[in-house]
Each structure stands twice: as structure tokens, then as C-alpha cells.
A and B are shown apart, each in its own frame.
Chain A
């Protein structure tokens, strides 16, 4: 079964969102509703960027959509993924680098959402940013 590995190195889970869109967890034809976005972000977290691998489900073509993201070191992350899978003789995968940049809205949203009790203030800011870049994420 083919795996699609989405990754980015901006410290924001763009890769998780792109993987969720590809797997059908998030809608492809319209921006996500607050509840839908929260559901995905509840599974993956918002700003950790420790390169943990998340499984965002399987799409209609039976492709498993994986996501990971880091803070910086995108070139090294790409080489680790490719060389590890190469030494394990695995080639049935596709690697997708998400190149969206984090803006002030996302940074502030993530910061506020991280403060205990202010999740409901931060998440709308994050959602606003996600809606702005949703078309770009959907094309990946």
C-alpha cells in the first residue's frame, strides 16, 4: 500500500492539514469548519514540531497519508526520510514538501492557544490563517 508523507519545517502543522485534506478527513472543496479543524489539531497538536509521524488516514485510492513537521532543518528531515526508507528497501511512497510560510496571525494564534484557558481565543486566529492558505494546501 502506497504511503504519502507530507512534511514541512516551519513549526506549524501544515503537513498534517495537507495530509488530512488528501485523506478526506478535512473537506477538499471548502474551508474546514471550526469543529473539523479542531478535531484534526486535537490529534496532532499545534506547535510542537518534533518530527513525530502522524497517520491522518487513508484516501479513496488506498493511499495512507502521513504527516510530520519540524522547526527548521527541512533539508535534513528530507534526507533522513529518504535514506532511512532506502536502506530498508522501501520505495512505495511519495514525499511531499509543504512550503507554506507561517505568518504573524498563525504565530500569535499558536502562542495564545498554548496559554491555559485561552485555547478558544487562539484557535479562531489559527483557523483564519488556515482558511487563507487552504487553497494552497489543497493543491498538494
Chain B
């Protein structure tokens, strides 16, 4: 199974969700800014990476975990992928799309926009990092649901 986490830029919430899925992050109470900044792809991908489905790692159950940015158009991404899967005879059991965008808070949006769009790494990056820590509980709840769905 290929699990594809997607968000606006594919560099904050989806990366955090994928990292937690892969066991790269500790539980919610002990998460620090350094942990987030150490994740590959965190706050590094740009406009020209949007749409590029990138492998983040393989989990303990041999699921491939991917991330992708969809510029706030989750329906566009889903229509393309489901449509192509149907035309190329790819079973829906072979992939899963997980939208992380609705777990994003204002601080993440503002910080992410500053850091990625305008390249104002400071103050954008600290802002998005703090926002991610605040949204972390919601993100990991989503990942737990995805993992629980996998077990069924």
C-alpha cells in the first residue's frame, strides 16, 4: 500500500504526519522544535515541488509513505489520482490519499507562507514550527486513524 499525505505545500503538515507515521517523531508531549527541523523535507520544498509525489520512507508494514503539495486544491489531486487509477487498472487498495490540510492552524499558514513564498525564513520558520507543535495532537490523531484503518 502506498499512503500519500497531502497538504498545501507538501512541506509542513504532510511531512509531519508522514514523519510521525514512520516513527521519526516522539509522542506529542515531548515534541521540540529541533525534532521538527531535523525531519527531511520540513520547510524546504518550494512552488516547483508542488504535485511531485515524494517518497518519505517505508513503515514497519511495508507501506510506502509519500508526501505531496496540492496548492489548496485537494479535489484536483484526488480527481487526477482516482481517475488515472481507474484508467490504468490500479486497485484502490494499492494507495490511500490522506488530506492533512484541515489540521493546519493559522500560525502554520502564516509562517509557511512567509518562509516558503517570500523566503522570510525568519520569522516564518519559527512561526510555522510553533504552529506545527500546537497542531501536532490533531495530526497524530489523523495518522493513528490511518494506521488503525490499515490494521483492519
Interface residues of A (CB under 8 A from B): 3, 5, 50-53, 55, 64, 66, 68, 70, 73, 75-81, 83-85, 87-88, 90, 93
A95 and B55 CA atoms in complex are apart in Å by: 22
Question: Would A52 and B51 be within 8 Å (CB), given that A70-B76, A80-B77, A87-B64 are in contact?
Answer: no
Q: List 22 A-B contacts (CB under 8 A).
A: A3-B87, A51-B75, A51-B76, A51-B83, A52-B83, A53-B84, A53-B86, A64-B87, A68-B80, A68-B83, A73-B51, A73-B73, A76-B51, A77-B80, A78-B51, A79-B50, A80-B68, A81-B80, A83-B54, A85-B88, A88-B88, A88-B94
Residue among B54, B80, B81, B83 with max Cβ neighbours from chain A (10 Å):
B80
* Residues in B42-74 with C-beta less than 8 Å from chain A: 48, 50-55, 64, 66, 68-71, 73
Interface residues of B (CB under 8 A from A): 2, 48, 50-55, 64, 66, 68-71, 73, 75-77, 79-81, 83-84, 86-88, 90, 94-95
A55 and B51 CA atoms in complex are apart in Å by: 22
**Distance in Å from the Cβ of B48 to the closest Cβ of chain A?**
7
**Distance in Å from the Cβ of B119 to the closest Cβ of chain A?**
19
* A52 close to B81 (CB less than 8 A): no
Chain B residues whose CB sits within 8 angstroms of the CB of A77 once the complex forms:
51, 76, 80
Secondary structure call for the A interface: mixed
Question: Would A80 and B80 be within 8 Å (CB), given that A50-B75, A88-B90 are in contact?
Answer: yes
B66, closest chain A residue (CB)? A87
* A83 close to B90 (CB less than 8 A): no
* B52 close to A83 (CB less than 8 A): yes
**Distance in Å from the Cβ of B141 to the closest Cβ of chain A?**
26
B48, closest chain A residue (CB)? A75
B81, closest chain A residue (CB)? A84
Chain A residues whose CB sits within 8 angstroms of the CB of B86 once the complex forms:
53
Chain B residues whose CB sits within 8 angstroms of the CB of A73 once the complex forms:
51, 71, 73, 76
* B80 close to A66 (CB less than 8 A): no
Kindly list the 8 A-B residue pairs having the minimum CB-CB distance in the complex, ordered from nearest. A53-B83, A79-B51, A76-B51, A83-B53, A80-B51, A51-B79, A51-B76, A76-B50
A7, closest chain B residue (CB)? B80
Chain A residues whose CB sits within 8 angstroms of the CB of B73 once the complex forms:
73
Chain A residues whose CB sits within 8 angstroms of the CB of B90 once the complex forms:
88
* A51 close to B51 (CB less than 8 A): no
